Structure 1
């Protein structure tokens, strides 16, 4: 019994001795690992006195900077390791905030190495206090931000390249847009003419177009239209429509015939899987009488009605009901109307970008609408072509971003006779 007991006691002693030895080795390993972790951590560590003098620094930071430990400890302050701009920021912002808050984190600064190169870092500092709450020293952690800075530079480069490409595309769109509009409207004896094109977005070419041009025997043609869609495809249709209208008017200036020719061309050209169409209003103007009036015949292919503002202050839409979209059907119905423009009368043609704009004044983003435009015209009448276009430009400006479609407006007026002409 005693031998067995002694044997067991012996094993217990050996077991305790073994456990104690392993514990000692484990403790030593922990101590060694803690020191090694500090010295060779993947980030820089340093401790400074309250005046900024470096008291302790790890090997990682020394390797980054290219200094020996004796070069820094007790000899330099943390701010001495920063660039000139960093030192200014440290003195004016970093140090005061750290003093007030006791901690500051994630501040982007740059370290200056022994060879003069720079290392971007993210700095976090904490004030260590004693048991009495008084500050003892400052512990600082520095994260290498070189990879992050390289990523940010690449991201910035890519963004700048995208901006340059966008600007190039905008210039191209603006140039293409200009080619789809007349460089200047023709001067018509006995008429005042004004026009405006409002671009909703510089990123895409719009499909609105207009023109005014001379025809034979003292007559004049004008048109204003809107192609479905935007971009290069719409621009191709716009170009085709403009030149077809002018050519068709020379061949047969009757407005209904002009639009019928355009309808045939578009229907034949775009009758596949990607149909294209437009709305157009075409007018034929002929001087009439000795008093300077004009006879105007308008044909509409699904286009918003023109607005006539009379010299007596009245205004109304011209009736062109039932006109069908140009290019959809082989034989589109064309609606026509004929009026006489007298001295002081103004005729306004517009695309639906104006009436479909969202208004900001109501706070609900409602469409501006046909009735609002008519009220606007009645408030203007009697007026002139140039004053009408100026008023519409100001109106569009009040809509701001609510104008989500290009808008073209064309106005003509018969000027009132001067006092000398009346005599």
Structure 2
């Protein structure tokens, strides 16, 4: 006969598990319902219909710091609440309970004897008799301190976020003001008065949060000679502003040393390439020119480095570009080729220089480039009333591009004023 697989006195694991379960179930059966009520993790109380407390468990008494003798038959449920909680109970909670027979999850504050407030969630239900009449109110009180702490933290976080947002708005406004001041420092405060010449300028900022790299200037070289330039540094922000400042000062200094436009741009190319030959390369496009006022006209000698050609509006209403082909980017290579051109401005003529933010604006449903042809057509449609009138018309055009204009645009217009119409002798009488 085979031997048993277990030793005498030792029972299989399955039998031990069943016995343990039986013991636990027996313990539950012997547990006191009254003890469960008294030591529950939440507060329980029963009140008469007028609110007088008839029964309350130990948990809630401990929260309140009161004895059963102090509460039962002596206090109403509303007496356990803070002033604000009592007011809410009388005006909202109790009427809702009377109408609906039950109110669930209402946030209130109970008041302990030490003066501390304890946030709770209260659920009350009316118990009715067999004939449907109200007998008493059973109320469950849940500790909501963790929830209140969570809500307080959320509120604090919301307030901090709102304060951070407000401070960010203030900082942004200050930044925009600082950027505007810095941007203006890179441009002449006003153009000088040139005898026999009218000048107009305009700067359109596409983004108030970023420094642009567009620049222009008009200044005297003495001996009835004037120099002008307009250009665009690649990129935006503080680095572009630093390059812009370097370019402006270099062009001014180079023009005082040698007034040949090609030589001036060559000097600028050398300075930029040597300064930014390592690390982050920086370059620009520019038009530099010399004005020679003489009699009733002004001679113009200019050179271009990678910049859009100047546009001339003639007194007869026609408009054409002054070609400067093959001009290379300034600062990109150690040796660069620049193209010069000459023209004469007669009374009523205007020379327009602009940066590519104007011609590269996106227009129409297909968001197509505005382009050189459209610009020439627009200028041809404008009355030949001088530089300032043309700049004003172009400023309106730029404003009309709205969000299609995503780059800064600088305008510089130079022209010879048209002679005033003479009055006939009959008009004087």
The question of a shared fold, defined as TM-score above 0.5 by the shorter chain, is answered with: yes
Selected match of 2:177 from 171, 180, 200 = 171
1:335-414 alignment, distance < 5 Å: 335-359=339-363, 362-414=364-416
Distance 1:212 1:38, change over 3 A: same
Distance 1:21 1:314, change over 3 A: same
Whole-angstrom distance in 2 between the partners of 1:66 and 1:363 = 75
Whole-angstrom distance in 2 between the partners of 1:393 and 1:56 = 83
C-alpha displacement of 1:317: 1.7
Is 1:303 the counterpart of 2:333? The answer is no
Whole-angstrom distance in 2 between the partners of 1:371 and 1:251 = 37
Which structure 2 segments of 5+ residues have no match? 1-18
Whole-angstrom distance in 2 between the partners of 1:147 and 1:210 = 54
Selected match of 2:317 from 313, 320, 330 = 313
Normalised by the size of structure 2, how large is the TM-score? 0.72
Q: Does the 8 Å CA contact 2:46/2:56 hold for their aligned counterparts?
A: yes
In the other structure, the counterpart of 1:237 is 243
Is 1:196 the counterpart of 2:179? The answer is no
C-alpha displacement of 1:395: 1.8
C-alpha displacement of 1:158: 3.3
Q: Does the 8 Å CA contact 1:244/1:262 hold for their aligned counterparts?
A: yes
Distance 1:60 1:313, change over 3 A: farther
Whole-angstrom distance in 1 between the partners of 2:399 and 2:254 = 36
Is 1:148 the counterpart of 2:154? The answer is yes
- Deviations along 1:225-275, one digit per CA (max 9) or x if unpaired, are 101111222112111111111111111112112111111211222212322
Selected match of 1:264 from 270, 283, 286 = 270
Selected match of 2:27 from 14, 22, 33 = 22
The Cα RMSD (Å) is 4.8
Counterpart secondary structure, 2:227: strand
Q: Does the 8 Å CA contact 1:208/1:351 hold for their aligned counterparts?
A: yes
Counterpart secondary structure, 2:333: coil
Whole-angstrom distance in 2 between the partners of 1:261 and 1:32 = 94
Whole-angstrom distance in 1 between the partners of 2:48 and 2:240 = 71
Whole-angstrom distance in 1 between the partners of 2:76 and 2:182 = 65
Q: Does the 8 Å CA contact 1:54/1:75 hold for their aligned counterparts?
A: no
Distance 1:113 1:224, change over 3 A: farther
Whole-angstrom distance in 2 between the partners of 1:180 and 1:174 = 10
Counterpart secondary structure, 1:211: strand
Which structure 1 segments of 5+ residues have no match? 1-13, 40-44
Whole-angstrom distance in 2 between the partners of 1:332 and 1:277 = 12
In the other structure, the counterpart of 1:9 is none
